[in-house]
Amino acid sequence: MGTEVKKSKKIKSKWFRVAVEGATTDGRKIQKEWIEQMAENYNRDVYGARINLEHIKGYSPDSQFKRYGDVLALRAEEIKTGPLAGKLALLAQIEPTDELIELNKAKQKVYTSIEVNAEFADTGKAYLVGLAVTDDPASLGTEFLEFSAKASVNPLASRKQSPNNLFTVAEETVIDFEEVDPQSDTAFSAMLDRLTGLFKSKSEKDSTKFVQLGEIIEQFATATTERFTNLDAKIVELTNELTKVKKQNTELVELLSELPESPERPISAGGSMDIETDC
């Protein structure tokens, strides 16, 4: 008899803010267009941003500066309330490693900073290439970032994937995690975002668009089929349960119908009417 392999739980974060338009970095400011471009163009098949500590990217999997997860998706959203109302924010959803989850539970590494390539590859558009977590906001604060940019030897240069990349100021972030079904909405939503992005993008050639569109529609159809298959299985299961309950109810009604409508009064056994006198 085979041993059942227990599947590991898949965890993802809820959406959380990682950047806001107008925020100062190393003297440059996050442009609204950058946020729109990062949200629209992020594609893990092209380049998947990973999570690290302090923007330091170690090579050893045993290092403290190993990777702590992946950025699953990005979206742009206007801030509705508070002092930043009206500003466009960049929200991220991540898939953490077990180590990052434990750090989060211990209230460690609660500040986040992103690495932005303002002209990614040959696109000429902004792209998110990394997400860092830190405990020390000053290590990635405005003053230090500006100082580093003006210094003859930039102390942060070795941490950047490209010399012209910029780090955003570390901001305190609340990251909530939740368990998800591996076949649930993460991949499904990502495909919808990619599908929408194709129609928003105006710089790509039509032929490339149609090829990508065909691939996404095929993936979309597969995911939709899986979802309906799972739904059909659930409906069958519920139908069987309902049939079982109906059968039990019918049997109970038949049993009750065989009982008399009202119990008959038991026949009296009678008693002696003689009265005894003690003389």
Q: Which residue among the candidates 13, 55, 176, 184 is catalytic per the annotation?
A: 55
Q: Is 185 marked active-site?
A: no
Q: Is 176 marked active-site?
A: no
Distance linking the first and last C-alpha atoms of the chain: 91
Q: Using alpha carbons only, what angle is made at residue 168 by residues 35 and 150, rounded to the nearest 5 degrees?
A: 125
Q: Which residue among the candidates 13, 60, 62, 113 is catalytic per the annotation?
A: 113
The 3-class SS string of 157-200 reads HHHCCCCCCEECCCEECCCCEEEECCCCHHHHHHHHHHHHHHHH
Q: Is 26 marked active-site?
A: yes
Q: What is the dihedral of CA 136, 137, 138, 141, to 10 degrees?
A: 150
Residue 139 has what DSSP assignment? G
Q: Which residues are catalytic?
A: 26, 55, 113
